[in-house]
Amino acid sequence: NMNIFYFMENNKESLNKLFEPYTKEYIKRYKEKDEKGLYYWDTFKRKSGKQYYSIIAPDGTILKNDLNGNPISWLRSEARFLKDLEEGEVKFVNLKNGWNIHFKQRIPLGKKPRSLFTEKGTNSDGSDEIIELFKQEVFSRPKPSELLSYLVSLIIKDNDLILDFFSGSASTAHAINKLNFKDGKK
């Protein structure tokens, strides 16, 4: 098992590099478009939202409880709902059994990567690298340099310093040296 903790100062530009592109199949759901970009209408009522407050429908109906008398859980905070309503990002839909609220689900910058980066290397790959370098297993669970190179390449700029407090098998140093060699830097 491998844990990698990733920390950086507030740098949205670098953070955006973490997003992976969507497949064409995924993008198909975003069928609507306005001046802000692609979106689709999604339901605002969510069990997982855990935001409880009353919403007044266009006809004055107060939306507070569902048909079973349970409090309605909204996806977003009341402040966000009111902002979205003011900006035309929300619409009320009158159905047979009452009102439903939809919001414009905007297409994000990209797909958030999951916690597993197996396509960028595993512990087994890190061990293989160590055996290739030292002809024996001298470190337990070394991180794969390809994974570390990938993570570092998302945030590094010219003349940045990378500090690995724990060093261990020096996988980070190995990854940085490989990146520098690839970029023709010292």
The residue extents of the domains of the chain are: 32-106, 123-183
Say how far apart CA 186 and CA 184 lie, in whole Å.
7
- Non-local (6+) Cβ contacts of 143 within 8 A are 2, 4, 121, 123, 126, 169, 171, 172
Per-residue pLDDT in tens (0 to 9) along the chain, 186 residues: 555 555 555 556 666 667 778 888 989 999 999 999 999 999 999 876 789 999 999 999 999 998 888 899 999 999 999 999 999 999 999 999 889 999 999 988 777 765 556 677 777 788 888 888 888 778 777 888 888 888 888 777 778 888 887 777 888 888 888 888 887 775
pLDDT at residue 12, as a whole number: 60
| Global confidence as pTM | 0.56
Determine how many CB atoms are found less than 10 A away from the CB of residue 73: 14
Task: Give the Cα-Cα-Cα angle 127, 132, 136 (nearest 5 degrees).
Answer: 70
**Interatomic CA distance for residues 127 and 122, integer angstroms:** 9
pLDDT of residue 186: 59
